[in-house]
């Protein structure tokens, strides 16, 4: 039976370097180590092009090669007959390999030395099993079964808040993931904000990552999963910048200082990016190809569930629940900066963007009319928010706002009073100042 290229994916994770043999036009052979042999699809692999090497010179002149790859855990060897087709210097495959190379470079002590210049695409013409007598590596746990169990846990989520937290909690028993983030795309489409986190001392709720920045941003921009199996010192592939510039309103991402494995998987719904699921570990080679496959499916399912939340009808208007007790104590000083809708409470940064705009609108409404009960539908239609495509983001932004308030300001809270309905809780009087 012909061996399928998919079966060799464990050999293509960079744990044991591959070698590649080529020959010049005059027949002189060359044999060299390949930093990366990347699985592209059922018929193709890609090799990293970092320097103009003899291997590259040879395949440009004589486009045939043989790669020898090794299965970790068994040391079985396989030989792939390859036909060089083309080199890609941009696009999803290039970006994925660039990210992975950063991890491989670090593992081999080549930080800042390995820079991907291209992804050389080869068609795999034949696969030879060199050691048919050796037993295969012990089978990994069944990723499909683990996926099924994780998805079953999502069924119990009553609302977006439970869904966001439950989606990360479900990863722990099924994928041994103990550090993870759920990030959603903002309305402008150029940044992601953290909606939920798992396993960090600080939740990082509200922390942002620019699209294209770090492993999370690359996964978002290219709409591809990106998996790095080794610690990388390459700054651009750390999850995000940790330094906060003086005076900048920024919530730091709560990621590990030195993750040894990272995976970022886009949440895609109908071809559109919704967010990114990110996980990391202190251990090398924590995430396999099978894990990546499972998490891609998981993330798509999660994207669908999150996107369905706004489709659920709001409850009918409940009786007003405003309390007569007036807030007391020293007034909270709320400042709003219209440029980015950032909100500061007693000079401490709270939130910005859509969530900031929502809070500013609610507080102004309360000051003007005394209202404390609101519904999502009216917010979607509120002209003061002036936000395009607002409806799709409202529920996630309300949850973000609710969580930031719970963490940073105990005197203001948003309490859910029904589907699509919530109550503003104020324990101190307000002083509102436009920035």
Which residues are at the interface with other proteins (CB under 8 A)?
16-17, 19-23, 27-33, 35, 51, 53-54, 62, 64-66, 68, 72-77, 79, 81, 108-110, 113-114, 130-131, 134, 137-138
To other proteins, the closest distance from the beta carbon of 284 in angstroms equals 9
Nearer Cβ to other proteins, position 23 or 304?
23
To other proteins, the closest distance from the beta carbon of 283 in angstroms equals 11
- Output phi, psi for 69, to 5 deg: -120, 160
Nearer Cβ to other proteins, position 33 or 149?
33
Nearer Cβ to other proteins, position 53 or 307?
53
Nearer Cβ to other proteins, position 132 or 313?
132
Q: Are 326 and 376 in contact (CB under 8 A)?
A: no
Q: Are 349 and 363 in contact (CB under 8 A)?
A: no
Nearer Cβ to other proteins, position 20 or 185?
20
Could you give the angle at the alpha carbon of 225 between the alpha carbons of 103 and 232, nearest 5°? 15
Nearer Cβ to other proteins, position 80 or 147?
80
Nearer Cβ to other proteins, position 135 or 388?
135
Q: Are 429 and 331 in contact (CB under 8 A)?
A: yes
Nearer Cβ to other proteins, position 67 or 343?
67
To other proteins, the closest distance from the beta carbon of 48 in angstroms equals 11
To other proteins, the closest distance from the beta carbon of 229 in angstroms equals 14
Nearer Cβ to other proteins, position 101 or 405?
101
The single residue listed with the structure tokens 């495509």 is: 389
To other proteins, the closest distance from the beta carbon of 95 in angstroms equals 22
214-222 vs 92-107: helix crossing angle, rounded to 10: 160
Which SS3 state, helix, strand or coil, does residue 326 take? coil
To other proteins, the closest distance from the beta carbon of 66 in angstroms equals 5
To other proteins, the closest distance from the beta carbon of 401 in angstroms equals 46
To other proteins, the closest distance from the beta carbon of 76 in angstroms equals 7
To other proteins, the closest distance from the beta carbon of 115 in angstroms equals 10
To other proteins, the closest distance from the beta carbon of 288 in angstroms equals 16
Nearer Cβ to other proteins, position 17 or 252?
17
Tokens of 265: 């998987």
């Amino acid at each position: 039976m012909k061996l399928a290229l998919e079966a060799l994916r464990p050999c293509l994770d960079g744990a044991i370097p591959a070698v590649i043999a080529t020959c010049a036009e005059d027949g002189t052979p060359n044999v060299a180590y390949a930093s990366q042999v990347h699985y592209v699809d059922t018929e193709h692999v890609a090799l990293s092009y970092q320097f103009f090497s003899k291997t590259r010179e040879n395949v440009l002149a004589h486009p045939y090669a043989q790669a020898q790859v090794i299965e970790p855990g068994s040391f079985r060897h396989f030989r792939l007959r390859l036909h060089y087709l083309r080199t890609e210097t941009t696009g999803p495959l290039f970006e994925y390999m660039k990210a992975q190379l950063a991890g491989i470079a670090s593992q081999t002590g080549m930080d800042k030395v390995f820079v991907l210049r291209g992804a050389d695409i080869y068609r795999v013409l034949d696969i030879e099993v060199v050691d048919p007598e050796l037993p295969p590596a012990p089978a990994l746990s069944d990723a499909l079964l683990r996926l099924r169990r994780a998805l079953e846990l999502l069924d119990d989520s009553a609302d977006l808040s439970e869904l966001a937290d439950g989606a990360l909690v479900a990863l722990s028993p099924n994928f041994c993931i103990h550090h993870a983030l759920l990030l959603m795309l903002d309305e402008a489409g150029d940044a992601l904000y953290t909606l939920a986190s798992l396993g960090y001392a600080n939740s990082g709720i509200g922390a942002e990552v620019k699209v294209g920045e770090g492993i999370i941003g690359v996964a978002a921009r290219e709409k591809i999963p990106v998996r790095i199996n080794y610690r990388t010192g390459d700054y651009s592939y750390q999850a995000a910048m940790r330094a906060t510039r003086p005076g900048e309103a920024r919530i730091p991402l709560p990621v590990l200082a030195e993750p040894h494995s990272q995976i970022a998987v886009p949440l895609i719904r109908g071809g559109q990016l919704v967010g990114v699921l990110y996980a990391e570990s202190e251990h090398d080679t924590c995430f396999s190809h099978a894990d990546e496959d499972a998490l891609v499916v998981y993330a798509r399912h999660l994207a669908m569930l999150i996107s369905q939340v706004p489709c659920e009808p709001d409850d009918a208007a409940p009786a007003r629940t405003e309390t007569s007790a007036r807030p007391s104590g020293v007034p909270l000083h709320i400042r709003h900066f219209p440029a980015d809708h950032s909100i500061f409470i007693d000079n401490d940064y709270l939130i910005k963007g859509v969530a900031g705009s929502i809070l500013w609108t609610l507080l102004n409404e309360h000051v003007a009319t005394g209202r404390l009960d609101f519904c999502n539908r009216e917010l979607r239609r509120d002209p003061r928010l002036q936000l395009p495509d607002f409806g799709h983001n409202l529920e996630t932004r309300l949850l973000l706002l609710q969580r930031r308030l719970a963490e940073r300001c105990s005197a203001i809270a948003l309490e859910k009073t029904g589907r699509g309905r919530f109550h503003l809780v104020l324990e101190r009087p307000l002083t509102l100042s436009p920035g």
